[in-house]
Amino acid sequence: MSRPLGVGIAGLGTVGGGVLRLLSANAELIAARAGRPIVVRAVSARDRTRDRGVALDGIAWHDDAAALAADPTVDVVVELIGGAEGPARALVDAAIARGKPVVTANKALLAVHGAALAAAAERAGIALAFEAAVAGGIPVIKALREGLAANRILSIAGILNGTCNYILTRMREEGRDFAEILADAQRLGYAETDPSFDIDGIDAAHKLAILAALAFGRAVAFEAVHVEGIRGISALDIGFAGELGYRIKLLGLARASEAGISARVHPCLVAQGAPLARVDGVFNAVVIEGDVVGRVMLEGRGAGAGPTASAVVADLIDLARGRATPVWGGAVSDAPSLPIGDHVGCYYLRLMVTDRPGVIADVTAVLRDQGVSLESMLQRGRAPGEAVPVVLVTHETRESAMRAALARIGALDAVLEKPAMLRIEAG
């Protein structure tokens, strides 16, 4: 068997600890599949005393993560620190400068600096591997770069954040509001103390930017992703969605057309019978549509020590075997990014209005003036003079027209709070 592949790991948190344990527990199997042993030679983390469930005897320790790149026993650097800047960026830059391949699970780093890092890696003639950066143990990166390489990718739709999916699932099942479920999720460890990165859609947007770059052969463009989170989703909207035959999911959606590429993350209504509607709890799922293969769906655990470590080690096995592909798939597209105002689709609109004659006529007049056609309306009960919810579902219309209509509807005297608008997707 060939010389062992020496690995340096920076970051020994949940994922880093998982990689150490996996390389130890499945060492014989991994060596057989890699063609040689994969051995951890050096590590770097903030706390030397923490018990990570595996012995670190004989492994060099570096307080400065960037020093891993200069360690002569390290052939491949594994970056599991996280964050778009700071030690993570310094380590990856140092490794590339030294001509050492990099494996990373850092979606923020790739989404923000992916184009520059890819160019640097290609100039250095080394691999930059990141299967673990999107959807944990689901091999979606390999699917796009390898399994579907003969296809022109038409669209991607995915549940890319397990925290949001968990919260929305429990809201639907228990009929409770967002804030209450979020607090419970934090107590149980499914949501961070500061959950903004997840619930405001940023985590999913980082992942979608990476997937869109791979799918459409473009430079990664995080700034072009339209992002909305789930803070505004209420139990009332989830209930109405159910009555209409839908479930509310936070989706990442990217599509290529003759006009350009759209990329957006937002909550939307998905038909209850659609595959993505049935993905619940902390699970992730991605549906990829190719021009030859049609629709392919991948589902599994999108985070956690085991699934993410599985993806990291898969990249290490590829490197041990000498397998590498261009970072963004090899093709370069100059297709423009499309603004959210160009989106065309159906919409769910929920209003809280004063129950009095003429209110619905005023609302529908605004929609008519903006060229928005209604498919259906829901109103439950009567409460003259009091606040009642009214739900409207539109036919396909352009987002810019819908936004103009919402601004006028929100200004009506009878409309008591900001209208809730959700896009409807096929799923």
Instruction: Report d(CA 283, CA 164) in Å as an integer.
Output: 10
Which candidate in 100, 207, 249, 418 is catalytic?
207
Write the secondary structure of the chain as one string of H (helix), E (strand) and C (coil).
CCCCEEEEEECCCHHHHHHHHHHHHCHHHHHHHHCCCEEEEEEECCCCCCCCCCCCCCCEECCCHHHHHHCCCCCEEEECCCCCCHHHHHHHHHHHHCCCCEEECCHHHHHHHHHHHHHHHHHHCCCEECHHHCCCCCCHHHHHHHHCCCCCEEEEEEECCHHHHHHHHHHHHHCCCHHHHHHHHHHHCCCCCCCHHHHCCHHHHHHHHHHHHHHHCCCCCHHHCEECCCCCCCHHHHHHHHHCCEEEEEEEEEEECCCCEEEEEEEEEEECCCHHHHCCCCEEEEEEEECCCEEEEEEEECCCHHHHHHHHHHHHHHHHHCCCCCCCCCCCCCCCECCHHHCEEEEEEEEEEECCCCHHHHHHHHHHHCCCCEEEEEECCCCCCCEEEEEEEECCEEHHHHHHHHHHHHCCCCECCCCEEEEEECC
Instruction: Report d(CA 349, CA 370) in Å as an integer.
Output: 15
Q: Are 76 and 91 in contact (CB under 8 A)?
A: no
Q: Are 356 and 387 in contact (CB under 8 A)?
A: no
For residue 207, indicate whether it is catalytic: yes
Which residues are catalytically annotated? 207
